[in-house]
Amino acid sequence: MGGFGRKAYEFLSELGLGARNPGCYVNGAWTGGGPVVASLNPADNQVIAEVMEASIQDYEEGLRACAEAAKIWMQVPAPKRGEIVRQIGEALRAKLQYLGRLVSLEMGKILPEGIGEVQEIIDMCDYAVGLSRQLNGSVIPSERPNHMMLEVWNPLGIVGVITAFNFPCAVLGWNACIALVCGNCVVWKGAPTTPLVTIAMTEIVAGVLEKNNLPGAIFTSFCGGAEIGQAIACDTRIPLVSFTGSSKVGMMVQQNVNRRFAGQRCTTCRRLLLHESIYHTVLDQLVEVYKQVKIGDPLEKGTLLGPLHTPTSKENFVKGIQAIKEQGGKFLFGGSVVESEGNFVQPTIVEISSNAPVVKEELFGPVLYVMKFQTLNEAIEINNSVPQGLSSSIFTRRPEVIFKWIGPHGSDCGIINVNIPTNGAEIGGAFGGEKATGGGREAGSDSWKQYMRRATCTINYGSELPLAQGINFG
Amino acid sequence: MGGFGRKAYEFLSELGLGARNPGCYVNGAWTGGGPVVASLNPADNQVIAEVMEASIQDYEEGLRACAEAAKIWMQVPAPKRGEIVRQIGEALRAKLQYLGRLVSLEMGKILPEGIGEVQEIIDMCDYAVGLSRQLNGSVIPSERPNHMMLEVWNPLGIVGVITAFNFPCAVLGWNACIALVCGNCVVWKGAPTTPLVTIAMTEIVAGVLEKNNLPGAIFTSFCGGAEIGQAIACDTRIPLVSFTGSSKVGMMVQQNVNRRFAGQRCTTCRRLLLHESIYHTVLDQLVEVYKQVKIGDPLEKGTLLGPLHTPTSKENFVKGIQAIKEQGGKFLFGGSVVESEGNFVQPTIVEISSNAPVVKEELFGPVLYVMKFQTLNEAIEINNSVPQGLSSSIFTRRPEVIFKWIGPHGSDCGIINVNIPTNGAEIGGAFGGEKATGGGREAGSDSWKQYMRRATCTINYGSELPLAQGINFG
Amino acid sequence: MGGFGRKAYEFLSELGLGARNPGCYVNGAWTGGGPVVASLNPADNQVIAEVMEASIQDYEEGLRACAEAAKIWMQVPAPKRGEIVRQIGEALRAKLQYLGRLVSLEMGKILPEGIGEVQEIIDMCDYAVGLSRQLNGSVIPSERPNHMMLEVWNPLGIVGVITAFNFPCAVLGWNACIALVCGNCVVWKGAPTTPLVTIAMTEIVAGVLEKNNLPGAIFTSFCGGAEIGQAIACDTRIPLVSFTGSSKVGMMVQQNVNRRFAGQRCTTCRRLLLHESIYHTVLDQLVEVYKQVKIGDPLEKGTLLGPLHTPTSKENFVKGIQAIKEQGGKFLFGGSVVESEGNFVQPTIVEISSNAPVVKEELFGPVLYVMKFQTLNEAIEINNSVPQGLSSSIFTRRPEVIFKWIGPHGSDCGIINVNIPTNGAEIGGAFGGEKATGGGREAGSDSWKQYMRRATCTINYGSELPLAQGINFG
Amino acid sequence: MGGFGRKAYEFLSELGLGARNPGCYVNGAWTGGGPVVASLNPADNQVIAEVMEASIQDYEEGLRACAEAAKIWMQVPAPKRGEIVRQIGEALRAKLQYLGRLVSLEMGKILPEGIGEVQEIIDMCDYAVGLSRQLNGSVIPSERPNHMMLEVWNPLGIVGVITAFNFPCAVLGWNACIALVCGNCVVWKGAPTTPLVTIAMTEIVAGVLEKNNLPGAIFTSFCGGAEIGQAIACDTRIPLVSFTGSSKVGMMVQQNVNRRFAGQRCTTCRRLLLHESIYHTVLDQLVEVYKQVKIGDPLEKGTLLGPLHTPTSKENFVKGIQAIKEQGGKFLFGGSVVESEGNFVQPTIVEISSNAPVVKEELFGPVLYVMKFQTLNEAIEINNSVPQGLSSSIFTRRPEVIFKWIGPHGSDCGIINVNIPTNGAEIGGAFGGEKATGGGREAGSDSWKQYMRRATCTINYGSELPLAQGINFG
């Protein structure tokens, strides 16, 4: 371990990382027979460290071991599984600052956001521990004498998790915490451009499993690209594959990933609708605020906007700006890249029609579209006119507006906020979208049910054998 | 109305049916611009009555009206929607005998089963009425002061239901009762070979809507074939399409229908696994029982086996018998068609290896495969070795077997019975399968959630505007 | 039957009532060995009809039969019990107008309220039918291998219901509908001054039981006074006694009854707190409205205020008015009895300090105390300063006020309304109070749990016998 | 601190204990103005350490501070309250061995049981943390347009906990963990004979509160006797007082305490019912096992039976043995005290009629009554024939017996076990009894609801003001 090119990177050894790292945790051991790739710092596009990705042989070996481990893990009582997840939470607490720093360094988000992302996994662990004693099925009254109906929830076996660069570890956390207490093994492939986070996170989970003499294969993890992702998506041994939200349709993974993780923050506000009576006042204030946004090294205190994740993201930003211009957008602020070695761009405000095609797509960068409306109905109609449906927010102090907004004729998103930004939900609620961003829920509420298979059991404990629908035989 | 070819069919006029019937209920009126088709009696393949199917223009007009009606219906308070469903239940009660008789006549199942099918819709109505006051969301504690999190359930808008011949109206009932109280309009396409049931059932719902001065388009119904089914499956105005179980993937409808409704009863027992110690004794008794099964007119008292639904089903039975022979199956009883004008075949018992490919498929007819096992583990492995996973049953009086069977290492079906046949669940439980027969749940438990869209709402009612993850601005 | 003194009373024969009626339904038969009492019309204090009340022998016979019936009824599957309650609902629907009229006639409330009261029982029946398939226990994950924890809900056996004159049948309905689907028999004692409602209501339930060949003793009913009430309250065979809300402490019944049913409507608004900025404007309007309130025969269309229930209530009103005067109250409207043969009094508005003792008690009549406040905190403090805690309401359009009002520092009542009067909750919610009016919940939410006993079951189905807390033996 | 009479007691300083200790934690500081009492070791009745109990002035000061703290604590968001409880769990983990040793030393139970008792609080903490994000109310569909019904759960304010010697800290843990996350302050009075456990436990909670800059008065704790207990029970500022199980009837505290904590373990098996076919065989084996039970110092490895808690308990044991003799009991083993300085008695087996009065009472010592039965019904009847109803167990492998036992005609206890001893439930289930041992539930399931007050809220956010029951005004 150790031997990093820069002193600023030496904290990585606290996370078990070195200058070159095996990128697969397979059957309880670190390996990596695939290509060697470099993890780059988006603030200067220089190498942080190297990683040996997974070969397809690594994948196969990993899955075989994982399937074996699943038989053991699903027999461990749920509260005992909760205890393992509790220990994972404690291990993360001990490394919170380091892990948050790594997230910020490798991904490009500012440090409070990097630490916040790790904290969210810790909170999920705490939540999942309590949940491990509440994965309740139902005893349902039967219409037949001497019968009892039970709704029992059993583990699925293996849950695959494919995550993207924008939340390189929180999304794993949402899924893995619940999946593990539900009795499932986890197979994780992190984003190709954030392999160090993948490895550091895996190290922590692996340490807890080993300390408890449990098979490491309960948590199987791969650094790698589309080939491994495709393998997970097509593997019939994996009944559930999750990629923020979850879907049983493995074949559509790449498409979904593209569709779902377009921005650097999936709940970033893309469109700002302002009532005509306050339109100009608010816009003027907003431009003033944007002028003060400090762009720079995400690890530095005071920075509010870090770099885009990759040079490609910067290119896509430039293309997006061009499209906005062609579709009649008027730039109120920003619209350019910042000259530097890193992938920095200006935060951008665009005045544009709600019908412009670019508004209905997800652009790769900090662009905010502003538009004017006259009535609440009109605003809701614009809100609902895009194919995405993850998060939405309204600012108002009128109860009739609040309750219309969250009701049948209101926002059609999965997350509907009032007087707070377009954040995701807290972990006690369910996180997920509707429409094109639909396909499941993670974290709280009854999301855990997606990680289990439901069995409707009817037990006849009497001495008579009834036939269906009152048919008499003979 | 009236003018049926046979006196035995005159009861159909009690259901609003005549010799020729318009097959679409569109925007509150009966019409039918598509081809005229005949409904045949499977016991003799003679015409019962004729039906004018839907044209694609009928469909378009129906959907437009339905989408308009949805805006009104979703604003009707849920308990008031429950009152409408209660009235539908009462209207069905009044016609129970006639409707049951029609189901039996047109589909071919025996009369107690025909009546039982209608009774199940009546029970669903009663259940849905109570449910209309219990479609509860959650108030979830927020981690932020002056915030409240709500999980609110809103209607989807329109629910499409495509049903098959084997349960020509119960499946509609499971879906429509819940969909309606949830605030959705319903678009139904019945099976092409059971149009009279589709029309009679629709008449009853329509009557209730009209009596309550509600738009008839709340319930939109079509007789028709693949073209209309495809239109429903591809229609972006319909966020949920159900075909026993439910799926959001409209493109896969036909495939699913084929996969799902293979038998005449989707929970029919296909495989009988007997422990070696009782194998011969039980088989001998079973053959004796099969000898006494009365085959004949399903409306006649005492009949236990009616005809297959169509001549095509009979042909498929013959092909299946041939495949069984080729794969080493040994016939212990039956295996032939019964010579007649109708589609009658013998109930059939086949001794065969659990690995024979034919055992893993769904055959179109009353064929039971029997096989021997030595240990419980072996029996469960055989049980789980097929791609389907709807219903399964064990007969035992040993608690350790009961609880293993319903647990993580037991049956992988959605319905797991003990000491009762492979029936479906009662309506208070959730009905649905796993694996290839997976894709959702209907009827009781929390199945209603599938008919609504979930909104995780966070309301900040305080005077401060917090940012995510503790970021401070400026 | 028949032979009423007045033609206006002849509709009572439609409810099975005559000029003299046995007042006990015991072991499926009508009897009445106690004193003969007269039911009086509060609008003129003339006799409507006579009733033979229960003797203590009737009570004993009734309870013995009821305890026997309980053994049978608790074995009837819950959904079948739901079917009986459904039929009770249908029978009530058929007599809705007559029953509502009787409630109005005998109790004194206006006709729409009388009919509304019966409608509420009908709604409860519908709700309870759905509930009969949802009396769900839980399957809870165990921390031990080969163990399953179940939370099972079993019937209590017999539920006693003692009701008061102000809601002479709705309160029975709330309790009986839920108690019956939960598998309990019901023992009912109605108010001594509304025996005809008690008998008519019992007739309807009895008819359904008889039609279904069930023991009449499942529903055992008594007209009578304190002696019978005391017998119910002290009977160890009755594990739950309910008197709006429910309590296990039978000895405190009379005290509670006095405390709980003071007004003619338990959720009647007693105190009106007005912000100083609108105080005079609102009061002026209110006095104008009070001037137009039509007092008179409750059965007559347009009447808004009927008589008090009994001459005693009128006397108590007079005493209350005196107390108000002594404590500094200033009469803005009313304050007198209306000269007539009936028990009519004026609707009354009183300006008074929130600290006056009379304000903290429940007065027997239509007296509204008005008071001024300056801040929300002050208003909430006044609201919470009385020992009662049933229902409360605020009128505001400010979200921060709404959410404070329903939160930890808001109203301490069981029912907290916003922009609607101090009504009770709808039946889907739970009805009940806190503090002195506390002691349980009826109708919706999880109120049904109070009518059952909870069993936390742990089943070890494995072959090992573990000891508690890891103790090893030998 | 320090200065204990014996070296074996020096570990107590690790728990913050000294030779003489102030016994009240009041407004965040340690004090004790009442009598000085000695804590005795039940194995030799020698002094362990001294404690200054609470005066009634201490109580008053404590309650005043607690009521103030309640206003702050109930505004801390529930998940943040969960974080405090999580830290309490961590602090207990760090002291598990010491605390467990103290419980064993001061109370007399064997060491694995002492440690097990503390572990149970730790588990409760973990559980409560998860629960802090799941204290969910409901959003209930309203029957009125533009209305929303909410069921909101608010804190009660202060929860009083009075615990007994047999579980000197676990019972506090069950109540306090849930009460705290629910937003309540806790007022605790421990048993007069286990003050050191009370102080040590309080130290740990206090440390966490202080570290988080929260008012110490959130957790207010007293060593003391009946006077303090009575003060808590009668204090109108404390809406809920719990003494294993919970009751709102403060006046009955002492009576209940006597009734509830009779044995050293409330779920100890008192009666053993054996089927006649195995009666003698099992009894013979049992006597053999009893012969090998090692009686002695509870801290010593291998000891299975420690001393009774006090000399009084020993006297009561002697009286009980006398009563057994008088009522015809036949001693199969034991029946005597063990001569020593401590409170040791023999484990005792008695053959006796199920009707003997002594069998229906709770005796203060390790006495097992054995009795014979012939049929299951007879056994259940005997089981249900006592006034207590906490825990019960059956050993059988017949499903029809299992399901009868847990059903309407089975055991009438709150805890119903199958093939495990008469333990309590795991913490995910609800702990509590029925009948004389009834009055509430603690720990899991929905027990948390008892620690909150339920508000059924209806919000009208539309512009119309509807009246109840369709009454029109004017």
Rounded distance, CA A168 to CA A201, Å?
10
Q: With beta carbons under 8 A apart, name residues in chain B contacting C146.
A: 400, 403
Kindly determine whether residue A133 and residue D428, on different chains, have CB atoms separated by under 8 Å: yes
Chain B nearest C-alpha distance from A390 (Å):
10
* pLDDT score of D344 more than 60: yes
What value of ipTM does the predicted structure carry? 0.88
What percent of chain D has pLDDT above 70? 91
Contact A126, A89 (CB under 8 A): yes
The H or E element that residue B87 is part of is helix B78-94
Position of tokens 């060697």? Answer: A36
Read off the pLDDT of residues D185-241 as tens digits, 9 standing for 90 and up.
Answer: 999 999 999 999 999 999 999 999 999 999 999 999 999 998 999 999 889 899 888
pLDDT for the residue numbered A421:
85
Kindly determine whether residue C430 and residue D406, on different chains, have CB atoms separated by under 8 Å: no
SS3 sequence of A58-98: HHHHHHHHHHHHHHHHCCCCHHHHHHHHHHHHHHHHHCHHH
Contact A113, A104 (CB under 8 A): yes
Q: How many CB pairs under 8 A join C and D?
A: 213
* pLDDT score of B259 more than 80: no
Among B458, B460, B471, most A C-beta atoms within 10 A, so best to mutate, is B458
Q: Which two tokens stand for residue B344?
A: 């009658």
Q: Tell me what the mean pLDDT of segment D334-346 comes to.
A: 94
Q: Where in chain C is the domain with CATH 3.40.605.10?
A: 7-263+441-453
Q: Does D401 touch chain B (CB under 8 A)?
A: no
CB atoms near residue A420 (< 10 Å): 18
Closest residue on chain A to B268 (Cα) = A468
pLDDT for the residue numbered C260:
37
Residue B177 pLDDT grade (very low, low, confident, very high; cuts 50, 70, 90): very high
Closest residue on chain B to C127 (Cα) = B130
Rounded distance, CA C262 to CA C361, Å?
9
Chain B nearest C-alpha distance from C462 (Å):
6
pLDDT for the residue numbered D233:
87
Q: Does D145 touch chain A (CB under 8 A)?
A: no
Kindly determine whether residue B149 and residue A468, on different chains, have CB atoms separated by under 8 Å: no
Which chains touch C (3+ CB pairs under 8 A)?
A: A, B, D
Chain D nearest C-alpha distance from C454 (Å):
6
Residue D148 DSSP SS3? strand
Mean pLDDT for all residues in chain A: 89
Rounded distance, CA D244 to CA D396, Å?
30
Contact B386, B372 (CB under 8 A): no
Residue A369 DSSP SS3? strand
* pLDDT score of D464 more than 80: no
CB atoms near residue A383 (< 10 Å): 22
Kindly determine whether residue D461 and residue A399, on different chains, have CB atoms separated by under 8 Å: yes
What percent of chain B has pLDDT above 90? 72
Q: With beta carbons under 8 A apart, name residues in chain C contacting D432.
A: 454, 456
Q: Tell me what the mean pLDDT of segment B149-177 comes to.
A: 93
* pLDDT score of D136 more than 60: yes
pLDDT for the residue numbered A2:
55
Among C75, C129, C136, C150, most A C-beta atoms within 10 A, so best to mutate, is C136
Q: Does A402 touch chain D (CB under 8 A)?
A: yes
Q: Where in chain D is the domain with CATH 3.40.605.10?
A: 7-263+442-453
The larger pLDDT score, comparing residue D425 to residue A279, is at A279
Contact A183, A153 (CB under 8 A): no
Kindly determine whether residue C455 and residue D71, on different chains, have CB atoms separated by under 8 Å: no
Q: With beta carbons under 8 A apart, name residues in chain B contacting C82.
A: 126
**What separation, in Å, do the N-terminal and C-terminal C-alpha atoms of chain D show?**
79
Which chains touch A (3+ CB pairs under 8 A)?
A: B, C, D
Q: Where in chain B is the domain with CATH 3.40.309.10?
A: 271-431
Among the partner-chain residues B129, B426, B462, the one whose CB lies closest to the CB of C130 is B129
pLDDT for the residue numbered A362:
72
* pLDDT score of B78 more than 60: yes
| D-contacting residues in A 38-67 (Cβ below 8 Å) | none
Read off the pLDDT of residues B188-210 as tens digits, 9 standing for 90 and up.
Answer: 999 999 999 999 999 999 999 99
Q: With beta carbons under 8 A apart, name residues in chain D contacting A443.
A: none
Closest residue on chain C to A145 (Cα) = C77
Q: With beta carbons under 8 A apart, name residues in chain B contacting A421.
A: 467-468
Rounded distance, CA C170 to CA C117, Å?
6
Q: How many CB pairs under 8 A join A and D?
A: 69
pLDDT for the residue numbered D266:
61
Residue A1 pLDDT grade (very low, low, confident, very high; cuts 50, 70, 90): very low
Among the partner-chain residues D132, D400, D459, the one whose CB lies closest to the CB of A461 is D400
Q: Which of B456, B51, B422 minimizes the C-alpha distance to B221?
A: B51
Contact D168, D39 (CB under 8 A): no
Compute CA distances C191 → C48, C222, D32, whole Å: 16, 10, 55
Rounded distance, CA C357 to CA D388, Å?
43
pLDDT for the residue numbered D361:
80
Q: Where in chain C is the domain with CATH 3.40.309.10?
A: 271-426
pLDDT for the residue numbered B374:
94
Q: Which of D184, D189, D214, D183 minimizes the C-alpha distance to D202?
A: D189
The larger pLDDT score, comparing residue D246 to residue B137, is at B137
Kindly determine whether residue C400 and residue B148, on different chains, have CB atoms separated by under 8 Å: no
Compute CA distances B38 → B107, B109, B195, B224, C468, whole Å: 13, 19, 9, 12, 71
Chain C nearest C-alpha distance from A396 (Å):
9
Q: How many CB pairs under 8 A join A and B?
A: 212
Q: Tell me what the mean pLDDT of segment D124-130 comes to.
A: 95
pLDDT for the residue numbered B466:
57
| D-contacting residues in C 234-263 (Cβ below 8 Å) | 248-249
Tell me the residue type at D177. Answer: C
Among the partner-chain residues D113, D406, D466, the one whose CB lies closest to the CB of C420 is D466
pLDDT for the residue numbered B247:
36
| B-contacting residues in A 62-121 (Cβ below 8 Å) | 71, 74-75, 110, 112-113, 115-117, 119
Read off the pLDDT of residues D18-65 as tens digits, 9 standing for 90 and up.
Answer: 999 999 999 999 999 999 999 999 999 999 999 999 999 999 999 999
Q: With beta carbons under 8 A apart, name residues in chain A contacting D403.
A: 146, 148, 459, 461
Chain D nearest C-alpha distance from B424 (Å):
22
pLDDT for the residue numbered D390:
85
Among the partner-chain residues A137, A142, A399, the one whose CB lies closest to the CB of C77 is A142
Architecture of domain D7-263+442-453: 3-Layer(aba) Sandwich (3.40)
Read off the pLDDT of residues A446-464 as tens digits, 9 standing for 90 and up.
Answer: 989 989 888 889 888 887 7
Which one of 2.30.30.230, 3.40.309.10, 3.30.310.40, 3.40.30.160 gives the CATH number of domain D271-426?
3.40.309.10
Among the partner-chain residues A86, A427, A463, the one whose CB lies closest to the CB of D133 is A427
Among the partner-chain residues A144, A406, A408, the one whose CB lies closest to the CB of B75 is A408
Among the partner-chain residues B417, B418, B470, the one whose CB lies closest to the CB of A116 is B470
Residue B266 pLDDT grade (very low, low, confident, very high; cuts 50, 70, 90): low
Read off the pLDDT of residues A113-135 as tens digits, 9 standing for 90 and up.
Answer: 999 999 999 999 999 999 999 99
Concatenate the DSSP letters of all residues of D291-311 into one string: HHPPBS-TTSTT--B---SSH
Q: Tell me what the mean pLDDT of segment D142-169 comes to.
A: 92
Residue D156 pLDDT grade (very low, low, confident, very high; cuts 50, 70, 90): very high
Rounded distance, CA A325 to CA B446, Å?
49
Rounded distance, CA D110 to CA C274, Å?
64
Closest residue on chain C to A153 (Cα) = C139
Secondary-structure class of domain B271-431 per CATH:
alpha beta
Residue D172 pLDDT grade (very low, low, confident, very high; cuts 50, 70, 90): very high
Query: Considering the domain B7-263+441-453 in this protein, what is its CATH number?
Result: 3.40.605.10
Kindly determine whether residue A459 and residue B412, on different chains, have CB atoms separated by under 8 Å: no
Kindly determine whether residue D131 and residue A126, on different chains, have CB atoms separated by under 8 Å: no
Q: Tell me what the mean pLDDT of segment B86-111 comes to.
A: 97
Q: Does D394 touch chain C (CB under 8 A)?
A: no
Of the candidate ranges A76-90, C238-252, D253-267, the one whose mean pLDDT is the lowest = D253-267
* pLDDT score of A192 more than 60: yes
Rounded distance, CA B282 to CA A229, Å?
50
Kindly determine whether residue B143 and residue D79, on different chains, have CB atoms separated by under 8 Å: yes
Kindly determine whether residue A134 and residue D444, on different chains, have CB atoms separated by under 8 Å: yes
Chain C nearest C-alpha distance from D327 (Å):
27
Kindly determine whether residue C139 and residue A152, on different chains, have CB atoms separated by under 8 Å: yes
Among the partner-chain residues C76, C132, C137, the one whose CB lies closest to the CB of A138 is C137
Contact A413, A265 (CB under 8 A): no
pLDDT 10s per residue in chain C (474 long)? 457 778 889 999 999 999 999 999 999 999 999 999 999 999 999 999 999 999 999 999 999 999 999 999 999 999 999 999 999 999 999 999 999 999 999 999 999 999 999 999 999 999 999 999 999 999 999 998 999 999 999 999 999 999 989 899 999 999 999 999 999 999 999 999 999 999 999 999 999 999 999 999 999 999 999 899 999 988 989 988 887 533 333 333 333 333 333 846 566 778 899 999 999 999 999 999 999 999 999 999 999 999 999 999 999 999 999 999 999 999 999 999 999 999 999 999 999 999 999 988 877 689 999 999 999 999 999 999 988 888 899 999 899 999 999 999 999 998 999 998 888 888 888 888 877 776 678 888 898 998 988 888 988 888 776 554 445 544
Q: With beta carbons under 8 A apart, name residues in chain B contacting D461.
A: none
pLDDT for the residue numbered B423:
81
Read off the pLDDT of residues A255-266 as tens digits, 9 standing for 90 and up.
Answer: 333 333 384 556
Read off the pLDDT of residues B328-342 as tens digits, 9 standing for 90 and up.
Answer: 999 999 999 999 999
Q: With beta carbons under 8 A apart, name residues in chain A contacting B465.
A: 419-420
Q: Does B137 touch chain A (CB under 8 A)?
A: no
Rounded distance, CA D429 to CA A78, Å?
14
pTM for the structure as a whole: 0.91
Closest residue on chain A to D463 (Cα) = A400
